[in-house]
Structure 1
Amino acid sequence: MIRALSRRTVLTSLAAVPAAVLLSACSDSGEEAKATDAKPAASTDAMAPSAPAAPATAAPASSGDVDMAELLKPGALPEKALGKEDAKVTIVEYASMTCPHCAHFAETTFPELKTKYIDSGKVRFIFREFPFDPRAEAGFMLARCAGDNYFPMIEVLFKQQQTWAAAENVKDAMFQLSKLAGFTQESFNACLTDQALLEQVRAVQKRGADEFKVDSTPTFFINGKTYKGALSIEEMSAIIDPLV
C-alpha cells in the first residue's frame, strides 16, 4: 500500500528505521530469500590426477508463470535495461537496495551474467525497484536522479551496502557515496524531497506486488518463468542456455 507522506518524509525518516532490521529484511513477510553461497574455483594443478567431471548444475524449479506481454508494459517509471531489445531471453529483476541477497547477486552473479549473456546479445536485462523501507527508497531515488549513471549508482550502492544501510547517520553516508556520481548537497536534498519520484518508485513496487505477486527480493522473471532468490551464474546458465 502506498503511504501518504509529507514532502520531506524520505529524507527525514532515513535515520528512523533501525539498520539491523533493514539488513535482514528481503521480504515484506519477514522471510528472507535464500542466497546461494559462492564457491571457490577448483584447482587447476596440471600434475594432479584428473577428477571426474562435476555434474552440470540443474536449473532451479520455477515458482510460477507470468504473461510476458503484461510484464513488459510500461510502468510508472521508464525502464532501466541493458542488452539488445530483440534478445531471445528477457530477464526482469525486482530488487531492494537494502536486501543483502540482492547485493550478493549483484556482486557474485551479475558481472558474469553481463559478460556472458547481456553483452553478447543473448539477454535483455531489466531492473525494477522493489524497496521495503525508506533507505531502499532513497537509494533508488538517488539512482534515478543520477540519470545516465543509474546502473553505476546501483552497483556502488550494492557494493557499499554495509556502509550506508547500516550507518547510524545514513544521510551522511549516502551523501558521501552520491558525491561520486556528481551530487551536491543541494541536488542530493532535492532528489530525496521529490515527492513525485517517491510515489513513482512506490508505484513500481506496488505493480510488482499486485500484478506479478512479487513478495521477496530478488525475484527474477525469465521469459515468463518466476524464480526467487539470489541465483548463481551456474543456475542462471542452466535456465538461459536452452532458450538461446
Structure 2
Amino acid sequence: MSPTRRAILAAPALLLPGLALAQAPDPRLAERGVGPADAPVRVQEFFSLTCSHCAAFHREVFPKVKAELVDKGAIRLIWRDFPLDRLALTAAQVARSLPEGQYEAFIGTLLNNQDRWAFSRDPMAGLAQMAGLAGMPRPKFDEVVADDSLARAILEQRSVAEREYEIRATPTFSFRAGDRAPRNQSGSIPFERFQALVEEAKKA
C-alpha cells in the first residue's frame, strides 16, 4: 500500500513530540521472525497492519512461503513495523506487548481479519477485542495504547527503514544473503516471484 492510501505518519515527530529524545530501545522491539538464524537468506518484510496489500500477501502467499522456504531452512523472515497510520501504530504496539511466542499468530489474526477491526465502525474497539482474544485484559490494552515510549520506538524504527532501506510503500521485502547488498521488492508479490528473489539474492 502506498503511504498516500491512509492518514500517513509522514512527520512522526509531530504526532508524538519528543521522538528525537527517545530512550534506549525497548526490549519489546527485539527482532520478530521465523526461520533459522543461520538461514542463507534473510528477508525483511516491512509491513503495516492496516495495509490491504500486506493482508493479501499474508493470506495468499505467506502460508506457502512458510511451508516451502521458512520451514525448510532456506530463509529467515523478519517482520519490520512500518505503520502507515495511527491505528497501525497502535496495533503494532499491542502485537509487540504480547508474549513473543504469540506475535506471529496475533499479527496473522489481524491481517487475516483486517476488515473486522481496521475498517469497522469502531477500529479501536475491534482491536481491543482481538487483543482480548489473545489474552490481553482491557486494562493492559489501555496501558499499551497509552505507552508513548513504545510508540516512539516503533516510529524510530520506521524512520531507520526509510533512511537505510528507502522504504516508501508496504509491503516491501528486502532480500539479503550474507554481506551482499540487499535487494528490495514492493507489493504483494506471488510466491513464484518471492522464491525467484530468494535465489537471486544467493547469486548477487
TM-score (norm 2): 0.82
Structure with the higher fraction of residues in helix conformation: 2
Question: How far apart are 1:170 and its partner, in Å?
Answer: 1.4
Q: How does 1:120-199 map to 2 (within 5 A)?
A: 120-148=72-100, 149-199=102-152
Aligned length: 176
Q: Which aligned runs of 4 or more in structure 1 are off by greater than 4 angstroms?
A: none
C-alpha displacement at 1:81, in angstroms?
A: 1.5
Q: Name 1:96's counterpart in structure 2.
A: 48
Bigger relative CO (Cα 8 Å, ≥ 6 apart):
1
| 1:227 and 2:193 matched | no
Counterpart of 2:186 in structure 1: which amino acid?
K
Aligned-residue Cα RMSD (Å) equals 1.7
Cα distance in 2, alignment partners of residues 88 and 205 from structure 1: 25
Q: Deviations over 1:32-58 (max 9, x none)?
A: xxxxxxxxxxxxxxxxxxxxxxxxxxx
- Matched to 1:28, the amino acid is P
Q: Specify the SS of the correspondent of 1:176.
A: helix
Q: Counterpart of 1:162 in 2: which secondary structure?
A: helix
For residue 206 of structure 1, report the CA deviation from its aligned partner: 0.8
Alignment of 1:1-40 (within 5 A): 26-30=1-5
Secondary structure at the aligned position of 2:170 is classed as: coil
Q: Which runs of 5+ in 2 are unaligned?
A: 7-24, 177-181
Q: Which whole-Å CA distance do the structure 1 matches of 2:4 and 2:122 have between them? A: 27
Q: Which of 183, 189, 198 is equivalent to 1:240?
A: 198
Question: Which residue does 2:19 correspond to in 1?
Answer: none
In 2, the alpha carbon distance for the partners of 1:146 and 1:113 equals 24
CA shift, 1:29, in A, is 4.0
Per the TM alignment, residue 150 of structure 1 is displaced from its structure 2 partner at its CA by: 1.0
Q: Are 1:118 and 2:70 matched, yes or no?
A: yes
Q: How does 1:39-78 map to 2 (within 5 A)?
A: 77-78=29-30
CA distance, structure 2, for counterparts of residue 195 and residue 101 of structure 1 = 27
In the alignment, the residues of structure 2 paired with residue 115 and residue 150 of structure 1 have an alpha-carbon distance, to the nearest angstrom, of 18
Tell me, in whole angstroms, the C-alpha distance in 2 between the residues paired with 1:201 and 1:239: 27
Please give the TM-score of this superposition, normalised by the length of structure 1.
0.69
Cα deviation digits, residues 132-159 of structure 1 (max 9, x gap): 1111011111100112211111000001
Percent identity among equivalent residues?
28
Give SS of 1:221's match.
strand
